[in-house]
Amino acid sequence: MIEYPDWVNVVALARETLQLVLVREYRHGRREVVTGLVSGTVEPSDAAGETDPAESAARRELCEETGYSAGELKRLLVSYPNPANQNNLVISYLALDVVLGGDRLLDASEDIEVVLAELPEVMLRLRSGELRMQAMHVAALWSACAHIIGSDNLTAAAVALREKLVAALGVT
């Protein structure tokens, strides 16, 4: 068994445009630059304070990797990265109201490019196989789309995004 701390990832959508905030970074296992969600490890320091450690980690990773900060985070999904030989969880969040304004704090070994993209286009590219991402990120994205499509409590901009997702994905 491999023991890891829990992981987080964030489906972050910019407040004004609802563009998806993605990161591109080199991944040794594939030996290529891969597009993905903001993600990282729940660290011991995330347990300080009154908030959930996973939520604290999601907020910290979002700011460190992208310079964006989130208001409310909605927990979307808790899943097992690989229960055959790993003991950890991955907790996925949706942030519909992220704003740019913080300082990025990359580790010395990190070289991360921030990319904004339209969520419906990303989902179509994933579905067609044109875009490949880590499986846990794909699960979080589909969960975010399901949440947006099924929610009755959305801003006007998010309602417009829902209509684009429904049209792009052929949801009836």
pLDDT tens readout for residues 81-123:
999 999 999 999 999 889 998 888 877 787 899 999 999 999 9
The whole-angstrom separation of Cα 116 and Cα 17 is 10
**Once rounded to an integer, what is the mean pLDDT over residues 41-68?**
92
Spatial CB neighbours of 13, under 8 Å, sequence gap ≥ 6: 19, 20, 21, 94, 95, 96, 97, 98, 119, 161
Q: Residue 6: what pLDDT? A: 97
Query: Could you tell me the pLDDT band of residue 127, with boundaries at 50, 70 and 90?
Result: very high
What value does the mean pLDDT of the chain take? 93
Q: Residue 19: what pLDDT? A: 96
Q: Residue 171: what pLDDT? A: 85
pLDDT tens readout for residues 60-81:
999 999 999 998 899 999 999 9
* CA-CA-CA-CA torsion sign (128, 110, 74, 97): negative
